[in-house]
Amino acid sequence: MTNFVEELRWRGMLHDIMPNTEEKLNEGMTAGYIGFDPTADSLHVGHLTQIMTLIHFQRAGHKPYALVGGATGMVGDPSGKSDERNLLTNETLAKNLQGIKDQLSRFLNFGDTGNDAVMVNNADWLKDYHFLDFIRDIGKHITVNYMMAKDSVKKRLEGDGGAGLSFTEFCYQLIQGYDFYYLWKNNNCLLQMGGSDQWGNIVTGTELIRRKDSGTAYAITTQLIKKADGTKFGKTESGAVWLDAAKTSPYKFYQFWLNASDDDVKKWIRIFTLKTKAEIEALEVAHDAAPHLRILQKALAEDITIKVHSEEALETAIKTSEFLFGNGSLEFFATLNNEQVMEIFEGIPQYQIAKTDLENGLDASTLLAEQTKIFTSKGEAKKLIQGGGVSMNKEKIKDGSTVYHTANLLNNRFLIVQKGKKNYFLIIAD
């Protein structure tokens, strides 16, 4: 058994901890849980801190419980939010729960013995709990004054929007508090963990346990991850970075971590990998000696892509990166289907042409200036081509009169134009 709290501490993950929690954990195997809100059928990188917390918890010899909020997902948590969330239908909720369960199973060892992880759904104990019974049995132990004092409630009540806070969301902390009580009572779950925005909800649970059964429970929260430039972690121009390959391709997932700033990556490699302190410090020395090689970014991106997807997915992501930004071959491109091609070139300028236009052949300057408008004029196209600055399908175009036919189409549909080193364009012939 290792010191779980110390592991969080040196990795820069620890935010708040209730007194005596560390001492209690060091006494022996302890059950603890983290809740996951099923707002979508996939988790995203914003959830990875909590997933890593559970991994560290299990590796330290403790018993992790992963709670999926089948009941609370129908209510909505006001913590860290400025607006009330849309409520979920039963069908959507069931789909989301299954997706989250499948993903968590990739990170934790689930089973029935020792410190095997256990997955629970709060709908199992809340769905048949009648409202009047709940407010009689549970509500009487927590005062409105206590609930109003929570930051998550005060911020919503004092918000500029004037929308306030519905009774539905106001009750959330009481329901989450009961989750903790239930797991404490029935599963000997002594600890609840979560992000720092969950502190108020978590301590409501410890307070309920104290007031209702004179019991003792514990709490730990982790740092909310922020990017050094002030932008939100886990968001890109195209939206959230999902753990589901169908929502965020392994290539885009890999690129998200590869593009981390030096300031961010030195924090993230501690949080999102299981590398030891010595391994990380060695990587930092190598990185600082040659920052342009992006040693830390590559180590982080490779580690987490394998963990979330697979080694095969990582290999494809690396080959895709090499194809776009290095000396990758056209043979690799031939292994991609149309959907994968469109994923790779998402956000890159695309032009549609008729395949019949290529049957008789088109010279490069006409194709690039008239058919697609990659260049504003034939003269501009010819000038840059003559300077050796334009490539078609990874080969330099020799001159503006070079003719292209349907035989030049990759996968019988695509032409890849490269202007300079980094400016890509995709021509789609249908």
Asked if 96 and 38 count as a contact pair (C-beta separation under 8 A), the reply is yes
Q: What is the pLDDT of residues 162-220, one digit of tens each?
A: 567 777 777 788 888 999 999 999 999 999 999 998 998 899 999 999 999 999 999 99
Among 73-77, 88-92, 225-229, name the one with the lowest average pLDDT: 73-77
413 in active site: no
Q: Which of the residues 15, 24, 59, 85 is marked catalytic?
A: 85
Residue from 92, 168, 223, 236 carrying the catalytic annotation: 236
What mean pLDDT do residues 334-361 have?
Answer: 85
Instruction: Give residue 329's pLDDT band: very low, low, confident or very high (50, 70, 90).
Output: confident
Judged on CB neighbours under 10 Å (0-12, 13-18, 19+), 327 is exposed
Residue 158 is predicted with a pLDDT of 72
CA distance 57 to 39: 25
pLDDT > 70? residue 159 = no
The catalytically annotated residue of 21, 39, 50, 418 is: 39
pLDDT at 416 over 80: yes
What's residue 227's pLDDT? 86
Q: Mean pLDDT throughout 260-276?
A: 96
Among this protein's residues, is 235 annotated catalytic? yes
Q: What's the farthest any 2 CA atoms get from each other in the chain?
A: 86
Structure tokens at 73: 């997902």
Q: Is 137 a catalytic residue?
A: no
| The pLDDT value given to residue 76 | 54
- Burial-class residue 34 by CB neighbours within 10 Å (0-12, 13-18, 19+): buried
Q: What is the pLDDT of residue 21?
A: 98
Candidate list 81, 185, 210, 413, residue with the active-site label = 81
Active-site position among 140, 232, 355, 398: 232
- pLDDT at position 79 over 60: no
Provide the b/e sequence for 179-197 (b: ≥16 CB within 10 Å).
Answer: bbbbbbeeeebbbbbbbeb
Mean pLDDT throughout 217-228?
A: 93
Task: Place 316 in a pLDDT band, splitting at 50, 70 and 90.
Answer: confident
Q: How far apart are CA 149 and CA 153, in angstroms?
A: 7
Q: Catalytic one among 103, 176, 297, 316?
A: 176
Kindly list the structural domains of the chain, giving each domain's residue range(s) and its CATH number in brackets, ordered by start: 4-222 (3.40.50.620), 235-326 (1.10.240.10), 350-429 (3.10.290.10)
- H or E, element range at 218: strand 218-222
DSSP readout, 368-390? Answer: IIIIS-SSSSHHHHHHHHHTT-E
85 is catalytic: yes
Least confident span in 32-46, 50-64, 158-172: 158-172
Of 106 and 167, the structure prediction assigns the larger pLDDT to 106
Which of 11, 44, 62, 266 is catalytic? The answer is 44
Given the residues 15, 168, 197, 413, select the one marked as catalytic.
Answer: 197
Continuous segment of H or E residues that includes residue 353: strand 350-353
Mean pLDDT of the chain: 88
In the predicted model, is pLDDT for residue 80 greater than 70? no
Q: Does position 82 have pLDDT exceeding 50, yes or no?
A: no
- Is residue 232 part of the annotated active site? The answer reads yes
Give yes or no: 366 in active site: no
pLDDT grade, residue 86 (50/70/90)? low
Does the pLDDT of residue 15 top 50, yes or no? yes
Burial of 334 from C-beta contacts in 10 A (0-12 / 13-18 / 19+): exposed
348 token code pair = 């890159």
At residue 286, the pLDDT reads 97
pLDDT of residue 269: 97
- Could you say which of 210, 235, 270, 383 is catalytic? 235
Specify which of 124-128, 149-153, 185-189 reaches the highest per-range mean pLDDT: 185-189
pTM: 0.83
Pair type for strands 414-419 and 390-392:
antiparallel
The mean pLDDT of 104-123, rounded to a whole number, is 92
Percent over 70 (pLDDT), the chain: 94
At 66 the pLDDT is 95
Reply yes or no on whether the pLDDT at 83 is more than 50. no
Going from the C-alpha of 430 to that of each of 230, 352, 359, 413, the distances in angstroms are 43, 8, 12, 7
pLDDT at residue 45 tops 70: yes
> pLDDT (tens digit, 9 = 90+) per residue, 237-266?
667 899 998 888 898 899 999 999 999 999
Q: Cβ(192)–Cβ(205) under 8 Å?
A: yes
Residue 39 is among the residues annotated as catalytic for this protein: yes
